[in-house]
Amino acid sequence: MNRIERAYPWILLAPVLLPVVIWGGFIYPYLVPKTLLFYALSFIAVSAFVVLAAYGKAFYWGRLARPESWLPALLLALAYGASLAGIDFYRSFWSLFIRGDGLLMLTCAVGSYYLILLDADRTFFTRLMQAAAGIGSIVALYGIIEWVLGGGRIGSLLGNAAFFAGYLGISFFATLIAAAEVPRGWRRAAYLGAALQVIAVILTATRGTMLAFAAAAVVGLMYVAFMGEGRRRAWSASVLLALTVFGGLFFAFRNQLAHVPFGPVARVASIGMSDPDVASRLFIWKNMVTEIGKSPWLGMGAEHIDVLFNRFYDPTQISEQWFDRSHNAFLDYAAQYGVGGLLLYLSLIASFLTAALRLARRGERRTAGIVALLALVYAVQNFFVFDTISSFWLILALLSAISAYSFSETRLETLPLPRWTRTASLVFALMLIYGVIPASVRPALAAYDLASAYKYQLVDPEKEVGYLSHGVALGTYGDMEYGYEAYDMYANVQAAALTGQARIDAYQAALAILSANFDRYPYDARTALYLAQVLSLVPPGADADGALLSSALERAIRLSPRRSQSWYILANLSISNANAYPPKSAERVAGYAAARDLLTRYIALVPTSSLPHFVLSQLLYASGDVEGAKEEAAKGKQYYTSDLETAKRAASYYENTLDLPNAAFFLAEVVRLDPANAAAKSDLEKIRAYLSR
């Protein structure tokens, strides 16, 4: 037991290393290894705690009597209740490979909160702050080097700029706290690490976190300017005045600054209703609020935000095809767990402020101020982003350690347990450790198999199918993502690149996975659409399942009516069936008329979408309605913004109708958006040469 007791604090600290854990052998290498390792560490930590408690180790049990410490447990209980009453508890519990934010992750994170709360002392508090500071500084340095070598928005070891910035928005404040906990010789290194983290946040060009840091700077300076003394007060007032002037100048010249070649400045300066990202985000938030209002008390259950998103998805308003988050953590909690979930999440953030008040009352004003600013930055940045396991564990671990440090209880207590519980604790611990296999080991193998399938999708389709089959047979929660990736491999690569039996095998592998998911997850619009697209690409020699295709299209349109792909597949099917009959036959005319009706109905749903107008114009031109085709093409050009697929479709139409000026315009768009398109370049040069005669 002594070895377990000595190792226990380090086991609790181990998840601080998650940001530096990546493995290229996984699908989604920046997220999956972190999540699976966190599950394993959580199971091991709980096992050690149970054994230590049964064998008489003393913990700070009195801390559980404080109502403030009940908040994570209440949030977890509500999450389970909402998910049991929600769409699909299985998916709520396990989540997806790429996300890992389901109930299992929440359970492990809340469990870690309580394990830290019961054991944390001053030594643990110091170690946690120092470890978070060190890892945050390493990750920031890696990101800065990444920017120096490649430029652009950097994701460092978290793989995504917003995830990276959100994590640093938390670790930065742990670094500031750690600076006071290290020997004076290391203090300069701690502040250097904090500076690196600020620089890295700027280089991510993540506006939410940059605005959160700016808000924290203003609030901190205002507090010192009004409540401070002596030189500090005067210095803060001067800096605040300088920032005010700088902010005014930035706002006055923001139109010019929006075009500077430095991404962080340009992105902040471009904030406004004219910015497509901002307009898209506001559209999503507005509609998310409407959808939340339809089920305000319990929400949809964990990991079902995409169901709401699919209902109001509009290609004219949203650039991303598939969302499983609203990019606003507060709306995400309300959507999943109702108003109660939102209030409990807000209460968790407010817990930092109550801990800061306790620290201030006992004279630790510096630490109290840092904790309060941490709460502010976390709240502001999560209004624009959402957590990953790296940031969510860290924020809960910091809350637990800071709360424990701020509590006045110092008395350790031992539970009066009978001796038989020692044996029971060992059995329970072994069962928990065995749980690592379904929670971490098998999903890791499935993720590896999926990555391997991608590797062999063209060079050895037989191996690809074998890896897919083996991964699915493991019976993990990765089945839905297996369907997504099998679709991507077949529809976007293999259908065009493979022939003969190899293509048939790839088709049948994708079809088998998607069909099983179609039956298992009747609420998932993405699975229904992907199944329909695979069925529409049936290879020669394979049987077509028209009934399943019709069922998949019906569900896809019902669950996400404004997605164009389902409507286009229906129209293409009608045209293909019509083309089987002689020209000008009643059957061909009827088939083309049905396709026109489908496209007209879709255009009524998204009248300002450019692409469907060009699709309809091509159909009308092929049907002989030249004037109608011109009218639809004119509407398509009127609504065109900047889109490669639309530009290709428009260029094809205008080339076919010999409208060379318009053809040149859209070919130029194709070349701008796809510089490697040699055919478009050649056509554009020929047309320009002809027009210049």
Are the beta carbons of 467 and 453 closer than 8 angstroms? yes
Residue 139, in any domain of the structure: yes
pLDDT of residue 79: 98
pLDDT in tens, 12-54: 999 999 999 999 889 999 999 999 999 999 999 999 999 999 9
Q: Decide which of 534, 558, 582 is a domain's last residue.
A: 558
Same domain, 332 and 451: no
Same domain, 76 and 185: yes
Provide mean pLDDT across the span 439-461. Answer: 96
Q: Which of 63-72, 268-277, 588-597 has the lowest mean pLDDT?
A: 268-277
pLDDT in tens, 629-661: 999 999 999 999 888 999 999 999 999 998 999
DSSP 322: -
In whole angstroms, give the CA distance from residue 70 to residue 96: 28
Same domain, 182 and 296: yes
pLDDT of residue 2: 83
Phi–psi pair at 59, nearest 5 degrees: -130, 170
pLDDT of residue 334: 97
Please report, rounded to a whole number, the percentage of residues in the chain having pLDDT higher than 70.
Answer: 100
Q: Is the pLDDT of residue 228 over 80?
A: no
Q: Encoding tokens for residue 632?
A: 């639809």
Q: Decide which of 530, 558, 586 is a domain's last residue.
A: 558
Residue 307: give the domain boundaries: 2-206+272-406
pLDDT of residue 29: 94
pLDDT in tens, 127-179: 999 999 999 999 999 999 999 999 889 999 999 999 999 999 999 999 999 99
Same domain, 453 and 396: no
Q: Is the pLDDT of residue 408 over 80?
A: no
3-state secondary structure 156-195: HHHCCHHHHHHHHHHHHHHHHHHHCCCCHHHHHHHHHHHH
Same domain, 349 and 472: no
What is the band of 258 on the pLDDT scale with cuts at 50, 70, 90?
confident
Same domain, 376 and 486: no
Of 518 and 279, the one with more pLDDT? 518
Same domain, 371 and 451: no
Provide mean pLDDT across the span 266-276. Answer: 85
Q: Decide which of 558, 578, 611 is a domain's last residue.
A: 558
Amino acid, single-letter form, for residue 638:
Q
Same domain, 399 and 458: no
pLDDT of residue 189: 92
pLDDT of residue 266: 87
What is the band of 346 on the pLDDT scale with cuts at 50, 70, 90?
very high
Closest by CA position to 624, among listed 589, 591, 659:
589
Same domain, 399 and 479: no
Block residue for tokens 């490669």: 644
Residue 429, in any domain of the structure: no
Q: Is the pLDDT of residue 181 over 90?
A: no
Q: Which of 151-155, 381-385, 446-450, 466-470 has the lowest mean pLDDT?
A: 151-155
Same domain, 174 and 32: yes
Residue 312, in any domain of the structure: yes
pLDDT of residue 250: 86
Are the beta carbons of 394 and 17 closer than 8 angstroms? no
pLDDT in tens, 189-215: 999 999 999 999 999 999 999 999 999
Residue 308, in any domain of the structure: yes
pLDDT of residue 368: 96
Are the beta carbons of 370 and 194 closer than 8 angstroms? no
Residue 593, in any domain of the structure: no
Measured CA angle at 234 (ends 232, 237), to 5 deg: 105
What is the band of 232 on the pLDDT scale with cuts at 50, 70, 90?
confident
Residue 614, in any domain of the structure: no
Residue 243, in any domain of the structure: no
Closest by CA position to 531, among listed 513, 506, 558, 557:
513
Number of domains composing the chain: 2
pLDDT of residue 274: 79
Same domain, 391 and 286: yes
Q: What percent of the chain is helix, strand and coil (3-state, nearest 5)?
A: 75, 0, 25
Residue 660, in any domain of the structure: no
Same domain, 162 and 50: yes
What is the band of 513 on the pLDDT scale with cuts at 50, 70, 90?
very high
Calculate the CA 633 to chain-centre distance: 36
What is the band of 367 on the pLDDT scale with cuts at 50, 70, 90?
very high
Measured CA angle at 350 (ends 344, 352), to 5 deg: 125
Are the beta carbons of 432 and 47 closer than 8 angstroms? yes
Helix H or strand E encompassing 571:
helix 564-579
What is the band of 117 on the pLDDT scale with cuts at 50, 70, 90?
very high
Helix H or strand E encompassing 452:
helix 442-455
pLDDT of residue 514: 98
Calculate the CA 478 to chain-centre distance: 16
Q: Is the pLDDT of residue 693 over 90?
A: no
Q: Is the pLDDT of residue 293 over 80?
A: yes
What is the band of 397 on the pLDDT scale with cuts at 50, 70, 90?
very high
Report the b/e string of 362-396 with b at 16+ CB within 10 A: eebeebbbbbbbbbbbbbbbbbbbbbbbbbbbbbb
Q: Give the chain's mean pLDDT.
A: 93
